[in-house]
Amino acid sequence: MQPRFVEIKQALLHQIETGQLRPGDKIASENQLAGVHQVSRMTARRALTELVDEGILARAQGAGTFVSDQRPMSSLLTITGIKEEIEARHQHYRLQVLAHEARPATSAIAGFLGLSTPQSLYYCQLVHWQNHQPVQLETRWVNPDLAPDFLQQQLQSHSVNAYLSRVAPLTEADHSVEAHLADAPTAQLLDIEPGEACLTIHRRTFCRQGIVSIATLTHPGARYRLGSHLNFSDAQEAL
């Protein structure tokens, strides 16, 4: 027989996974859970504490315990790989590789990479999964002169972000964000309905030697978010 606190955890997880409890919803108190499950308050507290430690729940001092927003969050101030974002939240990450090859590039793609003429470039198309849902469709063109071993990388083991950061350390980046409706091919890959809202980041990264890659990162709007923490203390102290 499993410990009683595990039963409480599983009951809460079931409510979250089935949508009975959604991000931001308040969880029953320790006393309430203890009464419902006929356990001690200490047992109920352990269940909540472990879910907080795992990032599933969040405590607000004086307000209670709430369901965390489990959607990955990307920052526009830093460059972090989706794999790292998901694993930092203690969620299960899985990669689906749709393409990882050399392809002839159009004049427009070559131009975005700072190349004067079209040529064969490295290309990948990946679907990144959190738990049982796809959360990002990544399409990326890579300059082979700056990342020569890209096609030899086992992307299931080593993320694109980690590899490029190692061989061509980032010095600057530019990106734009747009909202749009999913077309049929994108919807199929992201397991959403055609016409659902998506959030897409267009990103170009640079190292000291030139432009390393251009990427289009498309997310189902309901499963992803953008956000950052800004610290103005240094600026205030300077006033």
Cβ neighbours, 10 Å, residue 33? 22
Q: How far apart are CA 146 and CA 113, in angstroms?
A: 11
3-state SS of the chain is CCCHHHHHHHHHHHHHHCCCCCCCCECCCHHHHHHHHCCCHHHHHHHHHHHHHCCCEEEECCCEEEECCCCCEECCCCCCCHHHHHHHCCCCEEEEEEEEEEEECCHHHHHHCCCCCCCEEEEEEEEEEECCEEEEEEEEEECCCCCCCHHHCCCCCCCHHHHHHHHCCCCEEEEEEEEEECCHHHHHHHCCCCCCEEEEEEEEEEECCEEEEEEEEEEEHHHCEECCCCCCHHHHHHC
Co-location of 21 and 129 in the same domain: no
pLDDT attached to residue 94: 93
**For 23-72, how does the pLDDT look when each residue is reduced to its tens digit (9 = 90+)?**
788 899 999 999 999 999 999 999 998 888 877 888 877 788 988 765 55
Q: What is the CATH number of the domain that holds 24?
A: 1.10.10.10
Same domain, 97 and 215: yes
Q: What are phi and psi of 73, to 5 degrees?
A: -125, 125
Instruction: Tell me the pairing of strands 57-60 and 210-220.
Output: unpaired
Is the pLDDT assigned to residue 17 strictly greater than 50? Answer: yes
Quote the number of domains for the chain.
2
- The residue among 67, 82, 113 that closes a domain is 67
Statement to judge: residues 88 and 52 lie in one domain: no
Tell me: do 152 and 40 sit in the same domain: no
- What percent of the chain is predicted at pLDDT more than 90? 45
Full residue range of the structural domain in which residue 20 is found: 4-67
| pLDDT: which is higher, 24 or 215 | 215
Tell me, what's the pLDDT at 187? 96
85 and 124, same domain (yes or no)? yes
Phi and psi of 214, rounded to 5°? -125, 140
pTM confidence score: 0.67
Residue 102 pLDDT greater than 70, yes or no: yes
Asked whether residue 159 is assigned to any structural domain, the reply reads yes
Does 236 fall in a domain? no
Domain identity same for 31 and 127: no
Shared-domain flag, residues 86 and 57 = no
What CATH number does residue 129 fall under? Answer: 3.40.1410.10
Over residues 103-115, the mean pLDDT reads 90
Between 109 and 74, where is the model more confident? 109
User: What would the pLDDT profile of 159-183 be if each residue is shown by its tens digit?
Assistant: 898 899 899 988 888 888 899 999 9
- Regarding whether 43 and 130 lie in a shared domain, the answer is no
Question: Looking at the structure, do residues 106 and 217 belong to the same domain, yes or no?
Answer: yes
Does residue 94 share a domain with residue 18? no
Q: What span, in angstroms and rounded, lies between the C-alpha atoms of 40 and 35?
A: 8
- Which of 45, 67, 89 corresponds to the end of one domain? 67
